[in-house]
Amino acid sequence: MTRRGPWFIPAAVVLVLAAAGLIVGIRLARFEAPPADTIPLGSVEQKEYRALRQRAESLEQQIAALRPRGTYILIDAGRNLLTLFKDNRRVLQAVCSTGSGRALSDPVKRRFWVFDTPRGEFFIRAKYPNPVWVKPDWAFLEEGEPVPRDLAARLAPTELGDYAMDLGEGYLIHGTLYERALGLSITHGCVRLGGRDLETVYKNVRVGTPVYIF
């Protein structure tokens, strides 16, 4: 059986999401407490308050230290949202499409695919302008078509849009011919973006830029 990507989120990614204030769709709230002078001096409540405030400030410092430096991408596959950060500033938040989770089998060669977008920490491995998709076997099998032997029959020069960014293991951030379907979980595991958002991301990242998918 072939599964496209892991089913777990590494602890490092959880820390990054917490540092960015985005985890399970919840933004971390800064600890706010009443002024110390509203609590009677010398009281047990004031001592507890001071200890709590020190703890909160310590946690904020730890989270700030974990926040990635420079440019990075967060992809919320559950909500189909891609966010681009640069120097701790949100440059772009865009609707995307991620894996459908559908399964496909090839009974002849006994192959099996699950079209999920993997979760975890990745890096931009390569950037391609005007990418050409070389359609794999499953692209023909799911359409009920015979798998061609000729490489030329596999080439689809317009399917990926104007740009593609390689995340490794066959997964890409790329464009789409069907922008109306953005926001839906319908891909074979890649992350699709609309043309303008794709161009913004492409021009703001470099090879080595981290990508966190959760």
Q: How far apart are CA 183 and CA 75, in angstroms?
A: 12
Structure-token match 């973006």, residue found = 193
Q: How far apart are CA 68 and CA 54, in angstroms?
A: 24
Domains of the chain: 36-66 (no CATH), 69-213 (2.40.440.10)
Q: Of 29-33, 76-80, 156-160, 209-213, which gets the smallest average pLDDT?
A: 29-33
* Tens of pLDDT, residues 18-36: 455 544 333 333 444 455 4
What pLDDT score was predicted for residue 12? 46
Instruction: Extract the tokens encoding 33.
Output: 């407490």
* Tens of pLDDT, residues 160-186: 999 999 999 999 999 999 999 999 999
Question: Could you give phi then psi for residue 126, rounded to 5 degrees?
Answer: -160, 155
Model pTM? 0.74
Three-state SS string across 36-73, please?
HHHCCCCCHHHHHHHHHHHHHHHHHHHHHHHCCCCEEE
Place 86 in a pLDDT band, splitting at 50, 70 and 90: very high
Do residues 207 and 125 touch, judged by C-beta distance below 8 A? yes
C-alpha 155: how far from chain center = 27
